Structure 1
Amino acid sequence: MEEKSSIFIATHGVMTVEVGVISGELELRTTCDDEGALTLAITYVGAEEWYTLPGEHYRLHDPRDHEVVHRMLVTVLERP
């Protein structure tokens, strides 16, 4: 299982399942297993509690795309 993590600023906020919209300095963590199953989690930088992004059963056709998908998500979540 591969894990990637990035810190970014969300000025317009990011929707989570558990607490609704969060904004500010956030950390996105994505994990991808050998079968391409992708999980997405987000937290405030320095916080212990992680939140789930909406949606279920994310799967990559090719697990080698994990890096590209992670960077794309950060870019989309960070844009104003």
Structure 2
Amino acid sequence: MAERSSVFTASHGVMTTEVGVISGELELRTNCDNHGLLTLRITYHGADEWYTLPGNGHRLHDPRDHEVVHRILATVLARP
């Protein structure tokens, strides 16, 4: 299982399943297994409690795309 992590600032916030919108300095962590199943989690940078992004069943056609998808997600979530 591959894991990627990025820290970014979300000035307009990011919706989470557990607590609604969070904003500020956040960390996105994505995991992708060998079958392409993608797990998306987010937290306040440096915090211990992780939240999930809405939706489920995220699956990549090719697990090798994980790095690119992670970078795209982090970029989109950081947009002003």
TM range (shorter): over 0.9
Structure 1 unaligned runs (5+)?
none
Give the distance between the partners of 1:53 and 1:5, measured in 2 at CA: 14
CA-to-aligned-CA distance 1:2-41 (integer Å, 9 cap, x gap): 0000000000000000000000000000000000000000
Report the aligned-residue RMSD: 0.2
2:36 aligned partner, one-letter code: G
2:76 aligned partner, one-letter code: V
Superposition deviation, residue 53 in structure 1: 0.2
In structure 2, the partner of 1:13 is 13
Superposition deviation, residue 52 in structure 1: 0.4
Output the TM-score relative to the length of structure 1.
0.99
Runs of 4+, deviation exceeding 6 Å: none
In structure 1, the partner of 2:59 is 59
